[in-house]
Amino acid sequence: MTEDRPGPKLPRGRGPLSTAVTAHLTGTGALPTPEDVRAASPYGDDLQLALYCCYELHYRGFAGVDPDLEWDPELLRTRRALEDRFLTALRADTQVHDSVEAAVKELLVEPAEGTGVSHHLRDEGELWQVREYVAQRSLYHLKEADPHAWVLPRLWGRAKAGMAAVEFDEYGGGRAERVHAQLFADMMKDLGLDTAYGAYLDSGSAEMLAVVNMMSLFGLHRSLRGALVGHFAAVEITSSPGSHRLAEAMRRTGAGPAAEFFYDEHVEADAVHEQVVRRDVIGGLLAEEPHLEADVVFGIDATGHLEDRLAERLLAEWRAGRPTMRDTHIS
């Protein structure tokens, strides 16, 4: 085992798949069988946590887990089976637009009467719901932009230059204190949350795990580079208005100055990013590889599908007065 910087602790298993994967990572058990994977719910806690654990080895790993397991052939075969189960369901369940133009046009339309999570938090959300939302989102935002960076070697020309420009901003423009993951951690500190990377992995919902897993899936496969660009476009195009609502929610609930700053920063930055992504990243990619248009559309619409599932879960629990975090109540 080579020396490695300690990562977060391994999460508790949520079923046979995730329990078997974590056991394999600690050398205490066998990996799940293909039959186990095929029998699992593609969006369920068990499969999504198992897949997240496989992907995390490509980021910061886990405390006490050999970093060389990142390329363990048996684990990679299991990961592929988990990915196939997830991706097959995602393709079957996502309603896709006919073209990139149609998909992007819909993203640009702000409904007059919005009903999403950012609308709820802005208009009537309570501070404990804000804290839960931030804790859930920490599974991505504490490594913000990292899943998207995988696509850079798979692009060239305008698409690569545009993507690199946006990523540079996400990474603070060369200033460590302005890295967006750090700004998110500052917000968590304001809200009295644990800022340690992976602190809420045990508590995050399956719906949130699926959103992050989709990013890793698209980013780690060159064959899905078009889907990653589509996903990235969906995030950047919808971020500015959503962040404006969340900034208002932070002010209304008294979440703190760092919380306000995080979303205020995204209102301004992502309004610029939207133009770069549409003109250079999507435009450059399709100028070079027009056959990837269907993949770009899939990435846009799959992002909407999984974000809608997450929103439905959060809003249903909050409106019933229940927490959305597993085994953790953030009051």
Residues making up the chain, counted from first to last: 331
- Contact between residue 13 and residue 22 where contact means Cβ atoms under 8 Å apart: yes
Q: What is the pLDDT of residue 38?
A: 95
Token pair 């439905």 is at which residue?
312
User: Of 52, 11, 15, 329, whose CA–CA distance to 199 is shortest?
Assistant: 11
Residue given tokens 């889907």 in the structure block:
227
The tens-digit pLDDT sequence of the chain (331 residues) is 455 567 899 999 999 999 999 999 999 999 999 999 999 999 999 999 999 999 999 999 999 999 999 999 999 999 999 999 999 999 999 999 999 999 999 998 887 678 899 999 999 999 999 999 999 999 999 999 999 999 999 999 999 999 999 999 999 999 999 999 999 999 999 999 999 999 999 999 999 999 999 999 999 999 999 999 999 999 999 888 899 999 999 999 999 999 999 999 888 776 788 889 999 999 999 999 999 999 999 999 999 999 999 999 999 999 999 999 987 666 5
Q: Report yes or no: 310 and 211 within 8 Å, Cβ to Cβ.
A: yes
Residue type, 219: G
The set of residues, in sequence order, having a beta carbon less than 8 Å from that of 327 and lying 6+ positions away, is: 202, 203
Contact 327, 203 (CB under 8 A): yes
Residues 133, 208: contact at Cβ < 8 Å? Answer: no
Angstrom distance (rounded) from CA 247 to CA 261: 8
Predicted local confidence at residue 327, as pLDDT: 72
What residues contact 17, with CB distance under 8 A and at least 6 apart? 32, 36, 37, 40, 46, 47, 49, 50, 82
**What distance in Å separates the CA atoms of residue 329 and residue 50, rounded to the nearest whole number?**
23
Cβ contacts of 202 within 8 Å, gap of 6 or more: 11, 12, 326, 327, 328
- As a whole number of angstroms, the distance between CA 133 and CA 325 comes to 9
In a 3-state reduction of DSSP, which class is residue 329?
coil
Residue 235's nearest CA partner among 198, 195, 197, 281 is 281
* Structural tokens at position 290: 């027009």
Residue 311: both structure tokens together: 């929103």
Exposed/middle/buried for residue 233 (C-beta within 10 Å: 0-12, 13-18, 19+)? buried
222/155 Cα distance (integer angstroms)? 10
- Check if the beta carbon of residue 145 is closer than 8 Å to that of residue 180: yes
Please report the pLDDT score of residue 265 as a whole number: 86
Tell me how far the alpha carbon of residue 314 is from its chain's centroid.
16
Could you tell me which residues come within 8 angstroms of residue 7 by beta carbon, excluding any fewer than 6 positions away? 56, 60, 61, 62, 63, 65, 197, 198
First to last CA, the chain: 41
Distance of CA 225 to the CA centre of its chain: 16
pLDDT value of position 73: 97
- What does the pLDDT read at residue 218? 98
